[in-house]
A and B are shown apart, each in its own frame.
Chain A
Amino acid sequence: MKNFLFALAASAAAIVGVAAPAAAQDKTKICFVYVGSKTDGGWTQAHELGRTTLQEHFGDKIETPYLENVPEGPDAERAIERMARSGCAVVFTTSFGFMDATLKVAEKFPDVKFEHATGYKTLPNVATYNSRFYEGRFINGQIAGKMSKNGVAGYIASFPIPEVVAGINAFLHGARTVNPEFKLKVIWVNTWFDPGKEADAAKALIDQGVDVLTQHTDTTAPMQVAEERGIKAFGQASDMISAGPTAQLSSIVDTWGAYYIKRTQAILDGTWTSQQTFDGLKDGILTMAPYTNMPDDVKAMAMDTEAKIKSGELKPFSGPINKQDGTPWLKEGETSDDGTILGMNFYIEGVDDKLPQ
């Protein structure tokens, strides 16, 4: 009975998600598997925005079915396989935790292409795409360095994966370029999505004296707490200004639409190949929400840094940077290679936390 109900609920969810007109035979199916709800205000919403941009761009030529709220784990494999079986030309799986499930399904369906967001494993029919979020977080760090009176920022982190660790390091390094004594407190909440817990973490950080808050979790709860307590904060993945009209300084905004259009074009042209994409501010895959609630000189600095990163003049991870234990990582004038950033598993000097291993 229990299994039956689960199956019923699961297939009902699937039908609602994949519902598409049956007559559309000549349309190319571009499919999406989301980890969260398409209206989460953060990560998944950004992908959903990318999907609708894609749909508008190609119009009747394609259809873009999607599945939302697919939990990472065994269910993910089933959901991805369901998509692959339904005649998708390409399946975009948009969460780090879908990595192994995507590869498993890809081996079973060699004719279907797969695109996995933020992972590092590929196959001839599996490409990965990622964004240089750390570029935006470096700018946020610089703003924090100027805006914080206490010289301490708080960071609400999800899981100790390289992308998150790189974000923490980039933020602190950015802050230290304008205030060498800047400190960063980190709380790991071990979830992408729990507004209550994220809000609790935000309150704990503020109670311990941070006056700028940034997050690498997906709900607007921390922004809301910042607004309520009268401190400043940065959004993540989407522009969170509606949750923090006087709190938000800026936000890194994932704008996947450009990438989705590029890759769909390759599918239509038959030129798709497996690759590992690591684009950033200059490619428009990452954009910054308007710089608000800050003095003009800070705003000018942020815009200048953004322009320099876009032109390639400035690389956020450039020396001198020491690792947390004080040993040198990058010497003066040296810049980090992409491999180190994509696999980052150490803190830089100044992080007031021990990295979970």
Chain B
Amino acid sequence: MIFEAILLTVITASTPLVIAAIGELVTERAGVLNLGVEGMMIVGAVCAFIATKTTGSPYVGVLAGIVAGAAFSLLFGFLTLTLVANQVATGLALTILGLGVSGMVGESVVGQPGIKMQPIAIPLLSDIPVLGTILFRQDIFFYLSIALVIGVNWFLFNSRTGLKLRAIGDSHGSAHTLGLPVIRTRYLAVMFGGACAGLAGAQLSLVYTPQWVENMSAGRGWIALALVVFAAWRPWRVLAGGYLFGAVTIGQLHAQALGIGLPSQFMSALPYAATIVVLIIISHNRRTTLINTPASLGKPFVPDR
């Protein structure tokens, strides 16, 4: 059934965006702007691929992707949080570095066939017609992405630690005065973002296209960054936005294959055009946008001043 087939590809295309964006959302909620998502993602992709190749187990690969992304983000954390370097410049440098390092690390495994991760069928639920195949016969990344959205939403808005993290993101000065550990929290948030980006990268090299080629993230990290703004720093909207983006991307390919006579350049730009339109709609209400934007986002924090 074609509808089902389309939905399955939409899920594959949306999952890495949702995972990377939810990680960046937490980072930004803590007041840190890390533009290095693309770099952390590609490092996660190459490490996941190599680990899978060496051990034969994609699950070791998933773990390697998470650890690599988190470790790589630590570099960003050290530069911006400890040395108080400019976050925008450091994030951009992280992306450039990540693309370079991953190319170097992965040179020996370029183009080698990978091991595709097998889907996990959830007993009983996966037997439901249509819905079961689409939602309950997926790879681990899909389940993790949903769990992450639910978990992060709960953490940010229903837990004490989440409240503290948001307070740090909104006003690091006041939070510090109240005795909240600004730097430590930010380090953890940055590493969470890195771990998610690494996980998203692992999805690219283990499920999306089970292989490694240089630059294979192809700008998906930037889309994830846009999604965070698009979602106005709300986890459920990240999920919705990620799926909207995935649906438009896949939809335009199907429209082309059907021979619908629209210019292909226009069709290729559709997902981005959709992003802009939604951004305009959201920012139309300036008050809600301002409320959601972490007030200290991107501002350096020096405790002794």
0 or 1 for each of B103-122: is its CB under 8 Å from A? (1 = yes): 10001001111001000000
Q: How far is the CA of A37 from the CA of B257 in the complex (A)?
A: 29
Given A187-B253, A199-B209, A200-B253, CB of A2 within 8 Å of CB of B92: yes
Evaluate contact between B257 and A196: CB separation under 8 angstroms: no
A176 nearest CB across to chain B (Å): 17
B249 nearest CB across to chain A (Å): 7
Check if A18 is an interface residue, CB within 8 A of chain B: no
Check if A205 is an interface residue, CB within 8 A of chain B: yes
0 or 1 for each of B88-103: is its CB under 8 Å from A? (1 = yes): 1100110011001001
Evaluate contact between B265 and A193: CB separation under 8 angstroms: no
A207 interface neighbour in B5, B209, B211, B256, Cβ under 8 Å: B5
Residue of B whose beta carbon sits closest to that of A156: B253
Q: Which of B144-152, B157-165, B212-220, B231-239 contacts A (4 or more CB under 8 A)?
A: B212-220
Given A207-B6, A353-B256, CB of A224 within 8 Å of CB of B265: no
Contact size class for B?
A: 35 or more
Contacts of B13 on A, CB cut-off 8 Å?
Answer: 196, 200
B210 interface neighbour in A13, A203, A207, A224, Cβ under 8 Å: A224
Evaluate contact between B268 and A207: CB separation under 8 angstroms: no
A83 nearest CB across to chain B (Å): 20
Q: How far is the CA of A43 from the CA of B213 in the complex (A)?
A: 13
Evaluate contact between B211 and A204: CB separation under 8 angstroms: no
Evaluate contact between A196 and B209: CB separation under 8 angstroms: yes
User: Which chain A residues numbered 28 to 47 have a C-beta less than 8 Å away from chain B?
Assistant: 36-37, 39-41
Residue of A whose beta carbon sits closest to that of B269: A190
Evaluate contact between A195 and B92: CB separation under 8 angstroms: no
Residue of B whose beta carbon sits closest to that of A197: B218
Evaluate contact between B257 and A242: CB separation under 8 angstroms: no
Contacts of A181 on B, CB cut-off 8 Å?
Answer: none
Residue of A whose beta carbon sits closest to that of B264: A188
Contacts of A357 on B, CB cut-off 8 Å?
Answer: 263
Residue of A whose beta carbon sits closest to that of B13: A200
Check if A75 is an interface residue, CB within 8 A of chain B: no
Evaluate contact between B220 and A196: CB separation under 8 angstroms: yes
Evaluate contact between A219 and B268: CB separation under 8 angstroms: no
Evaluate contact between A39 and B257: CB separation under 8 angstroms: no
Evaluate contact between B89 and A220: CB separation under 8 angstroms: no
Evaluate contact between B111 and A243: CB separation under 8 angstroms: yes
B87 nearest CB across to chain A (Å): 11
User: Which chain A residues numbered 45 to 71 have a C-beta less than 8 Å away from chain B?
Assistant: 69
Check if A88 is an interface residue, CB within 8 A of chain B: no
0 or 1 for each of A265-278: is its CB under 8 Å from B? (1 = yes): 00000000000000
User: Which chain B residues numbered 188 to 217 have a C-beta less than 8 Å away from chain A?
Assistant: 204, 208-211, 213-216
Check if B259 is an interface residue, CB within 8 A of chain A: yes
Check if B250 is an interface residue, CB within 8 A of chain A: yes
Given A185-B259, A203-B9, A204-B9, CB of A37 within 8 Å of CB of B268: no
A243 interface neighbour in B211, B250, B257, B264, Cβ under 8 Å: B211
A285 nearest CB across to chain B (Å): 23
Check if B261 is an interface residue, CB within 8 A of chain A: yes
A190 nearest CB across to chain B (Å): 4
B9 interface neighbour in A13, A37, A193, A200, Cβ under 8 Å: A200
Evaluate contact between A187 and B256: CB separation under 8 angstroms: yes
Q: How far is the CA of A291 from the CA of B157 in the complex (A)?
A: 61
Residue of A whose beta carbon sits closest to that of B266: A356
Q: How far is the CA of A252 from the CA of B253 in the complex (A)?
A: 25
Residue of A whose beta carbon sits closest to that of B261: A354
Evaluate contact between A208 and B264: CB separation under 8 angstroms: no
Q: How far is the CA of A356 from the CA of B265 in the complex (A)?
A: 8
Evaluate contact between A6 and B96: CB separation under 8 angstroms: yes
0 or 1 for each of A318-356: is its CB under 8 Å from B? (1 = yes): 000000000000000000000000000000000011101
Evaluate contact between A204 and B257: CB separation under 8 angstroms: yes
User: Which chain B residues numbered 43 to 85 have a C-beta less than 8 Å away from chain A?
Assistant: none
A227 nearest CB across to chain B (Å): 9
Contacts of A195 on B, CB cut-off 8 Å?
Answer: 208-209, 211, 213, 216, 218
Check if A186 is an interface residue, CB within 8 A of chain B: yes
Contacts of A188 on B, CB cut-off 8 Å?
Answer: 256, 264-265, 267-268
Evaluate contact between B257 and A154: CB separation under 8 angstroms: yes
A278 nearest CB across to chain B (Å): 27
User: Which chain A residues numbered 1 to 40 have a C-beta less than 8 Å away from chain B?
Assistant: 1-2, 5-6, 9, 12-13, 36-37, 39-40
Evaluate contact between B268 and A204: CB separation under 8 angstroms: no
| A-B pairs with beta carbons under 8 Å apart, 5 shown | A9-B93, A69-B215, A196-B218, A204-B250, A224-B211
Residues of B within 8 A of A (CB): 2, 5-6, 9, 13, 86, 88-89, 92-93, 96-97, 100, 103, 107, 110-113, 116, 204, 208-211, 213-216, 218, 220, 249-250, 253-254, 256-259, 261-265, 267-268
Residues of A within 8 A of B (CB): 1-2, 5-6, 9, 12-13, 36-37, 39-41, 69, 154, 160, 185-191, 193-201, 203-205, 207-208, 219-221, 224, 228, 242-243, 352-354, 356-357
Given contacts A1-B89, A9-B96, 18 further A-B contacts (CB under 8 A): A1-B86, A5-B89, A5-B92, A9-B93, A36-B214, A40-B111, A187-B253, A187-B256, A189-B268, A193-B218, A195-B208, A195-B209, A195-B211, A196-B209, A201-B253, A204-B256, A219-B213, A219-B216
